[in-house]
């Protein structure tokens, strides 16, 4: 399925009191990248997608003013009315070691209620795609 990549330059107005990137700003960028990824994967009008849940974002490294943060969003799980996107963030200084990762779930709505999005994706059978799918299955199970 298609992925989405967004980039943001960290500016002084994005920093917290420690002088590193404010988690609230990073979360906003994560939801934005995930929304673009979800909309692209489902190919539906953006007005039909709402954010249901931001699942435990983990911030493992900091970014500072002047860093360019790249967010990579890929579909991790597709249900009947929902889609869950996995997002990772990178800065060039850390190479391919992500400074954040997490999942964001969106639901397709019609008249304010969940509605089928019409995209059917089979459960993956191997590799990273299966690992992510299983991670989302665990998150979905936790809510019960």
Ligand X SMILES: CC(C)(COP(=O)(O)OP(=O)(O)OC[C@H]1O[C@@H](n2cnc3c(N)ncnc32)[C@H](O)[C@@H]1OP(=O)(O)O)[C@@H](O)C(=O)NCCC(=O)NCCS
Binding residue (CB under 6 A) for ligand X from 82, 85, 98, 129? 82
Residue 135 lies near ligand X (rule: CB under 6 A): no
Window contacting ligand X (CB under 6 A); options: 1-9, 12-20, 108-116, 124-132: 108-116
In the bound state with ligand X, the residue whose beta carbon lies nearer, of 55 and 61, is 55
Residue 51 lies near ligand X (rule: CB under 6 A): yes
Q: Calculate the CA dihedral of residues 57, 60, 66, 72 and round it to 10 degrees.
A: -50
In the bound state with ligand X, the residue whose beta carbon lies nearer, of 42 and 63, is 42
Backbone angles phi, psi at 32, to 5 degrees: -60, -50
Residue 39 lies near ligand X (rule: CB under 6 A): no
Residue 52 lies near ligand X (rule: CB under 6 A): yes
State the residue for tokens 């970014």.
Answer: 63
Half-sphere exposure of 136 (CA within 13 A, CB side): 25
> Do the beta carbons of residue 76 and residue 104 sit within 8 Å?
no
Q: Minimum CB separation from ligand X for residue 46, in Å? A: 13
DSSP string, 109-135: EETTEE-------PPP-SHHHHHHHHH
Residue 80 DSSP code = S
Six-digit token string for 132: 């992510």
Residue 79 lies near ligand X (rule: CB under 6 A): yes
Window contacting ligand X (CB under 6 A); options: 14-22, 79-87, 91-99, 120-128: 79-87
Return the SS3 of 140. Answer: helix
Site residues (vs ligand X, CB under 6 A): 50-53, 79-82, 105, 107, 109, 113-114, 140, 143
């Amino acid at each position: 399925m298609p992925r989405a990549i967004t980039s943001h330059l960290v500016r002084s107005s994005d920093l917290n009191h420690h002088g590193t990137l404010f988690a609230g700003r990073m979360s906003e960028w994560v939801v934005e990248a995930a929304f673009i990824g979800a909309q692209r994967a489902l190919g539906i009008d953006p007005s039909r997608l709402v954010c249901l849940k931001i699942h435990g974002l983990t911030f493992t490294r900091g970014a500072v003013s002047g860093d360019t943060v790249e967010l990579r969003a890929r579909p991790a799980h597709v249900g009947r009315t929902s889609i869950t996107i996995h997002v990772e963030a990178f800065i060039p200084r850390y190479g391919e070691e992500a400074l954040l990762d997490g999942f964001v779930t969106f639901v397709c709505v019609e008249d304010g209620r969940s509605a089928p999005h019409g995209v059917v994706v089979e459960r993956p059978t191997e590799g990273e795609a299966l690992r992510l799918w299983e991670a989302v299955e665990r998150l979905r199970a936790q809510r019960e």
